[in-house]
Structure 1
Amino acid sequence: MTDSRPVLIVTSLYDPTADVVIGELHGRGVPVVRFDSGDFPASLSVEAEITPDGIQSTITTPSRTADLAAVRALYYRRPSGFAFPHLSEQDTRFAVTQARYGLGGILAALPGCLYVNHPHRVGDAEFKPSGLAAAVGAGFDVPPTLITSSPHAARAFVERHGPVLYKPLSNPVYRVDGVSNVVGVSEVTAGDIDGRVAGTAHLFQQVVKKTADVRVTVIGPATFCVRINSDLLDWRTDYSRLRYTPAPAPPQIELALHAYMDHFGHFFGAYDFAVGPYGQWWFLECNPSGQWYWLEEETGLPTLAAVADLLERTP
């Protein structure tokens, strides 16, 4: 008997990774409803009633209406933010809050739905301090790290653990002459530390003397591990200089990966590690909404099939 329950994919209009997942699911005969929650309420509407039998809700896009109680899985990717350009600043603030807690609350309460990942749990893991603390608890090695707004503490940390990197705790987009820019990872010295540190929170981390980077993608029960060779401090700054080699994760890393996933209740995670000269794997971060498909194109690893299996809920 054909399973007619749809998969919801929540993401922005331009998301090539979502496009290939939708194509794979369509090829398997799995119905898909794609929408951007940022389109609410202009071209997206929702109805939800709290009843003695639970929440009864539907969502309507320009092309179809979906019964949210019948959703088999929700793939939460990268939706855009809510926008109300016709409202005043104060009214916009109110409307955005109502949309977030209204539509967001409905999407977070779907009965019998597999979340990849649950939007609330995504938010939990995106706080770097909690992610690093969870990594230590899961059994990963984490480089000495300081989060501070104290110039004195930052300077002392650099002097004690140098060389040290500065990393943004989050990375909002800066527009310079209309071009999107982000704050990069950079090495700092004690002489670079001044009173500006007191202006907000900063993250400083000891530089790992690495021989390679590793990207590990965990998709449900499957683990895909790729060694990335380059001469870059941050391999994401120039993909043309990267060389990829599939490689298995050490057994203790495999155990820690799933302990970390269990801590946050995730079914997907994109992990970054630095490999030291003696083979030690240093945890750097885990992105609960990270990119992964380009590694299949580079290595042939069957990540797309694994994502589709998970969303289809194939045993």
Structure 2
Amino acid sequence: MAAPVLIIAASDDLPTDKVVAELDRRGVEVFRMDTADFPQRLALAGRIDQERAWTGELITEHRIVEMSRVGAVYYRAPGAFRFPEGMSGPEERFAAYQARGGLGGVLSALDCRWVNHPTAMARAEYKPVQLAVARACGLRIPATLITNRPDEVRAFAQETDGPIVCKPIASPVIIENNELKSVYTQVLKAGDLEDLRGIEATAHLLQAWVDKAYEVRLTMVGGHALAAAIHAGSDAAHKDWRSDYGALTYETTTVPEDVFAGMLRLMERLQLRYGAADFVVGPDGEWTFLEINPCGQWDWIQAHTGLPIVEAIVDDLTGDH
């Protein structure tokens, strides 16, 4: 019998539903869990000794899986632990640390194929790490400054041949007054550089603007490259396509050999099997790497282009490639 695939994801994640459906269609045994179910709806019993690596079971009211049988893990943004009501704040924080170290530790120790392993994802999410690795792997990157010093921003602007942009270093989403808001890439004007109050409050990422004919979302899965060209139909989308999805059009495209080779090296260096990378393609056809998200969205790009991303993910989880 084929080894089961362990799915660790939020219970309401629709793209993960499609991965599970494709695994089911191929007759692969699946155990799906959300860390938000622990400890109330998910139980763990794991053992290790001198003779055997981790064995034991993950148990829900519907299914049981023996951890030593797991052949692959698909890990995609599971929820936070939920504990029984009545705990004090300190008790709940203590319980969360124990759950993370216990359940998270046992799962992280599973010696199988991970798409992706959370420790690799945690490191790969740092944009400074991504840029350093991309450069080392032969990919073209924009000149970048990370600082909280206004004078450094002005000096960078003077040294840069053309406009500069400011963008979030980490998650671009904030919650303010119970409202979800996104922070998009901003092209800095001369007036912005005259008044940089607030820069000192935290780190900011600034980059040289890269002239673009279009952008590419390059989905890397297990050594395969699935590329979609994204064409902006508005000024806002031209600056940051995430700000105006309604103005975008898509088409599949090919990846230059040198970019593909560089991305293979980058994926190996970052120990990722899945990654959603963004590139700018200039009027001269030059590809410039912007970033890679080890847990990036892929469902919408598959819907617009027909790229077989869910099939590629399942191929990688099952070794069918």
- CA distance, structure 2, for counterparts of residue 172 and residue 38 of structure 1: 24
- After TM superposition, which residue ranges in structure 1, 4 or more long, deviate above 6 angstroms? none
> Which amino acid is 1:164 matched to?
I
| Secondary structure of 1:54's aligned partner | coil
Report the TM-score when normalising by structure 1: 0.93
State which of 266, 278, 296 in structure 1 corresponds to 2:284.
Answer: 278
**Structure 1 residues 81 and 191: alpha-carbon distance in aligned structure 2, compared to 1, 3 A threshold:** farther
Q: Could you tell me how far apart the structure 2 residues matched to 1:87 and 1:197 are?
A: 40
Q: 1:302 aligns with which of 303, 308, 314?
A: 308
1:126 to 2:109 alignment: no
8 Å CA contact 1:12–1:78 kept in 2: the answer is: yes
The whole-number CA distance in structure 2 between the counterparts of 1:124 and 1:295 is 25
Q: Does 1:245 align with 2:251?
A: yes
Is the aligned partner of 1:56 residue 2:44? no
Q: How much does 1:173 deviate? A: 4.1
Please, what is the CA RMSD of the aligned residues?
1.7
Q: Which residue matches 2:159?
A: 160
Question: 1:22 aligns to what?
Answer: 20
1:259 to partner: Cα distance:
0.2
How is 1:1-315 mapped onto 2 (pairs within 5 angstroms)? 2-3=1-2, 5-52=3-50, 53-84=52-83, 86-111=86-111, 113-161=112-160, 162-171=162-171, 173-189=173-189, 191-192=191-192, 193-231=195-233, 232=237, 233-315=239-321
Tell me the SS of whatever aligns to 2:198: helix
- Taking the aligned partners of 1:13 and 1:122, their CA distance within structure 2 comes to 20
The Cα of 1:262 is off from its aligned counterpart by 0.4
Query: Structure 1 residues 159 and 95 mapped into 2: Cα distance closer, same or farther (>3 Å)?
Result: farther
Partners in 1 of 2:198 and 2:272 — Cα distance?
36
| Structure 2 Cα separation of the partners of residues 200 and 93 of structure 1 | 27
Kindly provide the amino acid, as one letter, of the partner of residue 120 in structure 1: T
Q: Closer, same or farther in 2 for the Cα pair 1:47/1:77, shift >3 Å?
A: same
Tell me how far apart the structure 2 counterparts of residues 283 and 95 of structure 1 sit (CA, whole Å).
Answer: 41
TM-score by length of 2: 0.92
Q: Is the 8 A contact 1:6 1:30 kept in 2?
A: yes
Contact 2:215 2:231 (C-alpha < 8 Å) held by counterparts: yes
Q: Distance in 2 between matches of 1:81 and 1:186?
A: 32
Structure 1 runs not aligned, ≥5 long: none
- Deviating more after overlay: 82-91 vs 118-127: 82-91
SS in 1 for 2:261: helix
> Equivalent residue of 1:51, what SS?
coil
Change (3 A) 1:172 1:252: closer
* Per-residue deviation, 1:172: 6.4
- Output the amino acid matched with 2:91: D
Q: Which amino acid aligns with 1:204?
A: L
Give distance in 1, aligned partners of 2:266 and 2:260.
Answer: 10
Contact between 1:158 and 1:189, CA under 8 Å: does it hold in 2? no
1:118 counterpart letter in structure 2: H
The one-character-per-residue Cα deviations of 1:47-104 (angstroms, maximum 9, x if unpaired) are 2222111222321123111111111110011112234464333223222222222211
Q: Is contact 1:220-1:267 (8 Å) kept?
A: yes
Q: CA distance change for structure 1 residues 239 and 172 in 2, over 3 Å: closer, same or farther?
A: closer
Structure 2 stretches of 5 or more lacking a match? none
